[in-house]
Amino acid sequence: MTAQILDGKATAAAIRDELRRRVAALRERGVAPGLGTVLVGDDPGSRSYVAGKHRDCAAVGIASIQRELPADATQAEVEAVVRELNEDPACTGYIVQLPLPKGLDANRVLELMDPAKDADGLHPTNLGRLVLGQPAPLPCTPRGIVELLRRYDVKIAGAEVVVIGRGVTVGRPLGLLLTRRSENATVTLCHTGTKDLARHVRQADIVVAAAGVPGLVTADMVKPGAVVLDVGITRTEAGLVGDVDPRVREVAGWVAPMPGGVGPMTRAMLLTNVVEAAEAS
């Protein structure tokens, strides 16, 4: 038996169709959602992600506002762009593409954003609201993971979930999201200091690999029938490589592949955050 696929690409396309209708309804009310992006430097990966976000916006009728700064931009220059987007009424939500080039303080930049325009859910106020269980835009990748599981009717309540990685964009907020009363999962957050990763993964009904270590999760570690989501992306000469070894498909019940799994869902949730913020305005 080989695992069934959690098709993030198809699911994201369905979500974009729903959003297209909601954006049309907003326009009827005279509300025009606009997504801003701030790209600093010329990392090819970051550039292609940002280009993808603008393509998605065009597909659902959200206006795009692109700001680009050179890799040697100063902290003050980046902050000036953030202040400008905070004030711009055409920009209803925006993101600062991470990571920022060395020497720039991303936390200070995030803190300067208007939390109401934080399309990524990464502003400290919004992460604080997530901790407190208050309404806030949710971080896109964790939200995309929960949405993908829901749309495939994968049972989250009561599940033993192992999250590998404690980063601020994925692992850390995903643990918070999945342990909310509405999700009711039991979460083990593993990281580079975890003594015996395999022992934890073997117990898991759902495994989320977000460590950025190619092939970290191998077939022998996975409980037969478990749900495995690959969130890792490493660029190699051979192309993009995920955190999940391909042979995991021979034991897992469901797999979210990379590419075509969580990545497209992340982008769909960014659009969703922008549309929801505009609907609330």
Ligand X SMILES: Nc1nc(=O)c2c([nH]1)NC[C@@H]1CN(c3ccc(C(=O)N[C@@H](CCC(=O)O)C(=O)O)cc3)C=[N+]21
Say how far apart CA 250 and CA 201 lie, in whole Å.
Answer: 16
CA distances from 96 to 67, 77, 215 (A): 10, 13, 29
Known binding positions for NADP(+): 165-167, 233
Using CB under 6 A as the binding rule, whether residue 95 contacts ligand X is answered as yes
x/- mask, ligand X, residues 16-55, rule CB under 6 A, reads --------------------------------xx--x---
Backbone phi and psi for residue 29, each to the nearest 5 degrees, phi listed first: -85, 0
Considering beta carbons, is residue 159 or 210 the nearer one to ligand X? 210
Segment near ligand X (CB under 6 A); pick from 70-78, 80-88, 91-99, 149-157: 91-99
The strands making up 227-230's β-sheet, listed across from edge to edge, are 4-5, 254-256, 227-230, 206-209, 160-164, 186-190
> What is the number of other CB atoms lying within 10 angstroms of the CB of residue 257?
21
**Minimum CB distance to ligand X, residue 27 (Å):** 26
Say how far apart CA 229 and CA 243 lie, in whole Å.
Answer: 9
x/- mask, ligand X, residues 125-164, rule CB under 6 A, reads ---------------x------------------------
Segment near ligand X (CB under 6 A); pick from 17-25, 159-167, 220-228, 257-265: 257-265
Segment near ligand X (CB under 6 A); pick from 54-62, 77-85, 217-225, 262-270: 262-270
Say how far apart CA 113 and CA 104 lie, in whole Å.
Answer: 15
Using CB under 6 A as the binding rule, whether residue 118 contacts ligand X is answered as no
- Token digits for 277? 């913020």
- Which residue is associated with the tokens 């050179």? 70
User: Site residues (CB under 6 A) for ligand X?
Assistant: 48-49, 52, 95-98, 120, 140, 233, 240, 258-260, 263-264, 266-267
